[in-house]
Amino acid sequence: MPISASSARTATRSLSVDEALERILAKVRQLEPVTADLMDTLGMTLVEDIVADHDVPPFRNSAMDGYAVIGADVATVPARLRVVGDIAAGGVPARPITRGEAIRIMTGAPMPDGADTIVRVEDTDNGTSTVTIHAATRPGTSVRAAGEDLRTGETVLTRGTILRAAEIGVLATLGHKTVQVTRQPRVAVLSTGDELVELDAPLGPGQIRDANRYSLASAARAVGARAIPLGIVRDTVDDLRRALRDAASKADIIVTSGGVSVGDHDHVKPVVDELGSMDFWSIAIRPGRPLAFGAIDGTLIFGLPGNPVSSLLGFELFVRPALLKMAGRRLLHRPQVAATLDDTLDTPPGLRFFARGIYDPAAGTVRTTGPQGSGILRSMALANCFIDIPDTVQHVDRGGRVIVIRTDQPEDH
Residues 141-170 that bind ligand AMP (CB under 6 A): none
Q: Give whole-number Cα distances, 391 to 13, 119, 346, 349, 403, in Å.
A: 14, 68, 12, 6, 13
Residues 253-282 that bind ligand AMP (CB under 6 A): 257-259, 261, 263
CA atoms of 40 and 28, how far apart (whole Å): 24
Q: Taking contact as CB under 6 A, which single stretch among the options 25-33, 139-147, 207-215, 386-394 is the one that binds ligand AMP? A: 207-215
196 near ligand AMP (CB under 6 A): yes
* Residue sitting closest to ligand AMP (CB): 306
Q: Taking contact as CB under 6 A, which single stretch among the options 13-21, 62-70, 90-98, 251-259 is the one that binds ligand AMP? A: 251-259
CB of 269 to Mg ion, least distance (A): 13
Residue 274 touches which of ligand AMP, Mg ion, none (Cβ within 5-8 Å per kind): none
287 near ligand AMP (CB under 6 A): no
Residue 347 touches which of ligand AMP, Mg ion, none (Cβ within 5-8 Å per kind): none
- Nearer residue to ligand AMP within complex by CB, 241 or 265: 265
Other CB atoms closer than 10 Å to residue 162's CB: what's the count?
A: 19
Q: How many residues bind ligand AMP (CB under 6 A)?
A: 18
CA atoms of 266 and 268, how far apart (whole Å): 6
- Nearer residue to ligand AMP within complex by CB, 117 or 310: 310
Q: How many residues bind Mg ion (CB under 5 A)?
A: 4
CB < 8 Å & 24+ apart, contacts of 313-316: 313/285, 313/287, 313/288, 313/354, 313/380, 313/386, 314/288, 315/216, 315/219, 315/220, 315/255, 316/219, 316/386, 316/407
Vertex 92, ends 86 and 93: CA angle to 5°? 55
Residues 58-117 that bind ligand AMP (CB under 6 A): none
Contact 17, 352 (CB under 8 A): yes
CA atoms of 64 and 141, how far apart (whole Å): 10
- One symbol per residue from 209 to 228: x for binding ligand AMP (CB under 6 A), - otherwise; what is it? -xxxx---------------
379 near ligand AMP (CB under 6 A): no
The residue from 93, 185, 224, 258 that contacts Mg ion (CB under 5 A) is 258
Locate all alpha helices (DSSP H) within 175-289, ordered by sequence: 211-222, 237-250, 268-275
Give every CB contact of residue 145 below 8 A, 6+ residues apart in sequence: 60
193 near ligand AMP (CB under 6 A): yes
- Nearer residue to ligand AMP within complex by CB, 148 or 195: 195
288 near Mg ion (CB under 5 A): no
357 near ligand AMP (CB under 6 A): no
Q: 189: helix, coil or strand?
A: strand
CB of 195 to Mg ion, least distance (A): 7
Residues 295-324 that bind ligand AMP (CB under 6 A): 305-308
- Nearer residue to ligand AMP within complex by CB, 170 or 244: 244
The residue from 66, 93, 110, 193 that contacts Mg ion (CB under 5 A) is 193
CB of 253 to ligand AMP, least distance (A): 17
Phi-psi region of 246 (alpha: psi -120 to 50; beta: other; left: phi over 0): alpha
Choose among 309, 269, 255, 267: nearest CA to 285. 309
Q: Taking contact as CB under 6 A, which single stretch among the options 44-52, 54-62, 190-198, 347-355 is the one that binds ligand AMP? A: 190-198
CA atoms of 185 and 59, how far apart (whole Å): 41
Contact 146, 29 (CB under 8 A): no
Contact 161, 172 (CB under 8 A): no
Give every CB contact of residue 121 below 8 A, 6+ residues apart in sequence: 64, 65, 66, 67
Q: Taking contact as CB under 5 A, which single stretch among the options 5-13, 242-250, 272-280, 301-309 is the one that binds Mg ion? A: 301-309
Q: Which residues lie near ligand AMP (CB under 6 A)? A: 191, 193, 195-196, 208, 210-213, 257-259, 261, 263, 305-308
